[in-house]
Structure formats: structure tokens, C-alpha cells
Amino acid sequence: MAMINRLLIYLILVLRPLLGPACCKFTISCTQYAILQLKEKSFLPALWTILKRLLSCNPFF
């Protein structure tokens, strides 16, 4: 796993409790999905799938 992916996973785990309560309409939460993608894919493909997931969760898009 690349160093940038590890850094992003660390940031997600540290910042997640500060962002408020977890409420996601997907069965695997967006946080868990992002961590899974960062572990399985390289940086840019993981970032692309994470952004698509976050945008699909937003009711305005």
C-alpha cells in the first residue's frame, strides 16, 4: 500500500469522530468504503471511486 493511501486512511480515522454522527444511506458506510478502496486500489482510482460514492450520497446531486 502506498504511503499516501496510508496517510489518507489515518486522516479518515482521526477526523471521522470530529465530523459528527455517522449516518449513511449505504449498507457499508462511506468511511468504511473509503478505507476499503484505499487499501485495495492505488491512489487515483481509489480517489475517483470515493468521490463518486460521496457525490451519490449527497441529495443535491
The tens digit of pLDDT for each residue in 27-61 reads 888 889 999 999 999 999 999 999 999 888 766 65
Cβ atoms within 10 Å, residue 38: 23
Return phi, psi of residue 59, to 5°: -70, -15
Q: What is the DSSP string of 11-51?
A: HHHHHGGGG-----SSSS-HHHHHHHHHHHS-HHHHHHHHH
pLDDT in tens, 1-32: 789 999 999 999 998 888 767 677 788 888 89
**Is 5 strand, coil or helix?**
helix
